[in-house]
Chain A
Amino acid sequence: MSLTPEIKLELLRKMLRARLFEEKIVAVYAAQDMKTPVHLYLGQEAVAAGVSQHLNADDYMFSTHRNHGHALCKGADMKPLAAELYGRAAGCAKGKGGSMHFVDVSKGCLGTSAIVGGSIPLAAGAALAIKQKGQAGRLAVTYFGDGASDEGVLQETLNFAALHRLPVLFACENNFYATNSPQKARHAEGLICKRAEAFGIPGVLVDGNDAEAVYGAAGKAVEHIRAGQGPYFLEFRTYRWKGHVGPDCDWEQGCRPKEEYFEWVKRCPVESYINKLTADGVLKGTALAQLKAGIADEIAEAWAFAKAAPYPAAEELFTDVY
């Protein structure tokens, strides 16, 4: 799939927006005024960027506890996200969801589940609604990890989605760890995408650290789904840099081999793409610095907005239910 320079720069912008947002979280987290457990997406940004490049605002997106990058790449407004991290009334979920539950309905981000595998059937349900309402061309995407592939609910959903040819994209981010349990300790068969094939759904393995590979594979999948040919399954091999939760690197605690970690850091999806675009002459002069500065400004504004925003009033405890 040939890529225009505009799309290449947009892929980079999406990745950088997710990257810098979370680097800011890492930088401020020790202050302990962001009182919410953070499951960081650092290292996996190419997946959300490459998939989102094919999505429209009215395509539905469901995600997980590790959702910051998914929401940002889908186009979510950063200010309410930052305010949500600080538990403020101006947060995207009015301070009721926290880091694990980003939402932005205007961009199709319908919410996330912090129960592993929990939002997979919700996306298929959204796809069922699309089908029932005759909204051809629209789709739903669900992001989940290799850990969620162990859940029965994935197999239940794959079967139903295939049976009804639902317009849903299963985006499995295989970062090789379910919390701290490595994939090889959990799976006899290493290719998760093969399971989709058993249900009659195309299942494709993709290099999840290569933004253009993700873009290409997701493009084919989305085209297939929008044409009414039913669901599609992509397995993105990638790597999470931080521990399961929190701003620290868990290889320091012995959770993962140090060598493995550094091998993957060398394959940083953002740095490697910057190098590629620079070598290709797409990224010239001060373009990168300008891109980063623009995002840094957005982050500074979002943080200022969040920290100035009031906490929810006491009566908010009892609203948005019943």
Chain B
Amino acid sequence: MPWTKVLIDQQDLEAAQKAGLRNISYRAALLEAQRQLLRSRPEVYLIGEGIDDAGGVFGSTAGLAAEFGPSRVMDTPIAENGLTGIAAGSAMCGLRPIFIHMRMDFLPMCLDQIANHAAKWRYMTGGAVTCPLVIRSIIGRGWGSAAQHSQALHGLFTHFAGLKVAVPATPYDAKGLLAAAVNDGNPVMFCEHRWLYDFKGYVPEEAYEVPFGKAVVRKEGSDVTIVAVSLMVYEAVKAARELEAEGISVEVIDPRTIKPLDLAAILASVKKTGRLVVADAGNLMTGISAEIAAQVAEKGFEYLKAPVLRVGLPDTPTPASPALEADFYPGVEDIKRAARRLAGGKA
């Protein structure tokens, strides 16, 4: 199906184009989703520092300020926590804000309003007041961006009861999950890996939603399951193709949202393969990879033929030097190594 397909290389893209599919970039998909939401729902507005700049948050908001004006596409002072509270308060009174941050590294500045307020308000008021706030932020590596412009804290936010967390990997999911996030009614952390912005894929022009909590099988296989999050979906599919040549059949699962997490889809795959690698774009230490491994161990231990392995970031701040970055960021080779280790003894 075109909407489950991950386009890895030029060959994939050309094949998709030949099939007459509409292929646009991840950034264009985000832009299209926001434009459609702004047009169809008067209560939707975008808010964030510099979102009306010519650059438009890596192009994802470009042109929207001119089309919708400053009250719908609102630039702000650099006051992350206060503005999160203001966006949250407006959400409690009927608006549907999308608060946009160029970097997820800025979100610890707003942790009080996200974790103590937006996440808790509905429960704390016994359901009387909801907070349909969507927070878009960009995770992941740049180019020597070092420790404060690169963090992928999506796993952290799953810890707070009351938040949903989306990690779209494809342009199709970026558009559909953003629409679903805005329409959801709960606070949603929407985490976009910077390196995904140029990636292209099939995206229908009309508005649609991708449901939360529904994983998708990116590639079928029978020997090893790789659950891959965000950018790692691409790395995992690449690894799977290369491992195919070695006689290892890999299934790649993209959870698309890590909260809610489609554990049933993961367990169904592990039941088939008996082996699991979790590849995340974030830290290993208490990250979402740890949570997925724990939940599979609790609910699917009898399916496992080997221990669960994880691929993710080491427990150190991000370095700047390309020499150190090369070791810091895992990729295709790390995933292949993990899969080989598990499938080495396949019967």
A interface with B by C-beta (< 8 Å): 60, 62, 91-97, 101, 103, 105, 110-111, 113, 115, 118-130, 132-133, 140, 152-153, 155-157, 159-160, 163, 319-322
Among B76, B112, B125, B128, contact of A160 (Cβ-Cβ < 8 Å): B76
Residues A126 and B90 in contact, CB atoms below 8 Å apart? yes
Within B165-214, the residues touching A (CB, 8 Å) are 186
CA distance A94 to B267 in the complex (A): 36
Is B147 located at the chain interface by the 8 A CB criterion?
A: no
Q: What residues on B are CB-neighbors of A133 within 8 Å?
A: 94-95
Q: With A94-B126, A121-B85, A153-B112 given, can you name 19 additional A-B contacts, CB distance below 8 Å?
A: A62-B89, A92-B126, A94-B127, A95-B126, A103-B128, A118-B116, A120-B82, A122-B86, A128-B95, A130-B93, A132-B45, A132-B71, A133-B94, A153-B81, A159-B82, A160-B76, A319-B127, A321-B162, A322-B260
Residues B117 and A129 in contact, CB atoms below 8 Å apart? no
Residues B164 and A124 in contact, CB atoms below 8 Å apart? no
Q: What residues on B are CB-neighbors of A125 within 8 Å?
A: 85-93
Would A120 and B85 be within 8 Å (CB), given that A93-B128, A126-B92, A319-B127 are in contact?
A: yes
Residues B123 and A121 in contact, CB atoms below 8 Å apart? no
B interface with A by C-beta (< 8 Å): 43, 45, 71, 76-77, 79, 81-95, 112-113, 116-117, 121-129, 161-162, 164, 186, 260
List 8 tightest A-B contacts by C-beta distance, closest first: A125-B89, A121-B85, A156-B82, A94-B126, A122-B89, A129-B93, A93-B126, A156-B79
CA distance A62 to B121 in the complex (A): 12
Residues B86 and A160 in contact, CB atoms below 8 Å apart? yes
- Chain A's closest residue to B161 (CB) is A321
Among B77, B92, B126, contact of A96 (Cβ-Cβ < 8 Å): B126
Q: How far is the CB of B67 from chain A (nearest CB, A)?
A: 17
Would A132 and B125 be within 8 Å (CB), given that A122-B85, A153-B81 are in contact?
A: no
Would A157 and B85 be within 8 Å (CB), given that A110-B92, A126-B93, A129-B94 are in contact?
A: yes
CA distance A96 to B127 in the complex (A): 9
CA distance A196 to B76 in the complex (A): 19
Q: Can you name 5 A-B residue pairings with CB atoms under 8 Å? A: A93-B124, A115-B116, A118-B85, A124-B86, A321-B162
CA distance A192 to B90 in the complex (A): 26
Among B43, B45, B77, B85, contact of A153 (Cβ-Cβ < 8 Å): B85
CA distance A62 to B171 in the complex (A): 40
Residues A111 and B124 in contact, CB atoms below 8 Å apart? yes
Q: How far is the CB of A120 from chain B (nearest CB, A)?
A: 7
Would A121 and B84 be within 8 Å (CB), given that A62-B89, A113-B117 are in contact?
A: yes
Q: What residues on B are CB-neighbors of A123 within 8 Å?
A: 89
Most chain A beta-carbon neighbours within 10 Å: one of B77, B83, B122, B126: B126
Q: How far is the CB of B63 from chain A (nearest CB, A)?
A: 21
Q: What residues on A are CB-neighbors of B162 within 8 Å?
A: 321-322
- Chain A's closest residue to B185 (CB) is A322
Would A103 and B90 be within 8 Å (CB), given that A118-B116, A160-B76, A321-B162 are in contact?
A: no
CA distance A127 to B93 in the complex (A): 9
Q: What residues on A are CB-neighbors of B77 within 8 Å?
A: 156, 159-160, 163
Q: What residues on B are CB-neighbors of A319 within 8 Å?
A: 127
Residues B126 and A105 in contact, CB atoms below 8 Å apart? no
CA distance A129 to B91 in the complex (A): 8
Q: What residues on B are CB-neighbors of A163 within 8 Å?
A: 77
Among B82, B125, B260, contact of A103 (Cβ-Cβ < 8 Å): B125
CA distance A319 to B130 in the complex (A): 13
CA distance A101 to B45 in the complex (A): 28
Q: How far is the CB of A87 from chain B (nearest CB, A)?
A: 11
Q: What residues on A are CB-neighbors of B186 within 8 Å?
A: 321-322
Would A160 and B79 be within 8 Å (CB), given that A121-B84, A121-B88, A129-B89 are in contact?
A: yes
